[in-house]
């Protein structure tokens, strides 16, 4: 595991409720492409159901991180692309099963007009730093 430092609220910056403003560390940088709600056979999971899609996306992120020798403890940044901001509570719930509140990464949430296919409600990418 990398040695990460989390700064939830730098001086003069209002604290975020669901993320950390700054995360820094040393080690190997790992970039995980945006993950969609696809199962291991490439089939969409949870059409129309943000909670089911979020769980699948986080499972895909977990598997991608593992392939790089990383875990969610190593994640420094998550970017959420959602077709509706109303899906964020489902995303946060899925995230909570993998990342405790005291280890939240830096995050950005962006509402998009569409993703690569209309059945997808979200896409999430991750950046991690893995100890040397």
The string of pLDDT tens digits covering residues 67-88 is 999 999 999 999 999 999 999 9
CA distance 67 to 49: 27
Looking at the predicted structure, is the pLDDT value of residue 63 above 60?
A: yes
For the whole prediction, is pTM greater than 0.75?
yes
DSSP 77: E
DSSP 91: H
Secondary structure, 3-state, 24-68: EECCEEEEEEEECCECCCCCECCCCCHHHHHHHHHHHHHHHHHHC
pLDDT in tens, 98-127: 999 999 999 999 999 999 999 999 999 999
């Amino acid at each position: 595991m990398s040695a990460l430092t989390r700064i939830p609220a730098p001086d003069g910056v209002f604290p975020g409720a669901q993320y950390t403003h700054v995360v820094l560390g040393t080690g190997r940088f790992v970039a995980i492409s945006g993950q969609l709600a696809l199962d291991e056979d490439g089939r969409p999971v949870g059409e129309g159901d943000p909670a089911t899609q979020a769980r699948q996306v986080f499972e895909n992120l977990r598997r991608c991180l593992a392939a790089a020798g990383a875990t969610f403890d190593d994640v420094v940044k998550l970017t959420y692309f959602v077709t509706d901001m109303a899906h964020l509570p489902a995303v946060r719930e899925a995230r909570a099963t993998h990342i405790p509140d005291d280890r939240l990464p830096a995050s950005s949430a962006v509402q998009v007009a569409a993703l690569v296919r209309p059945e997808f409600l979200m896409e999430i990418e991750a950046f991690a730093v893995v100890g040397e």
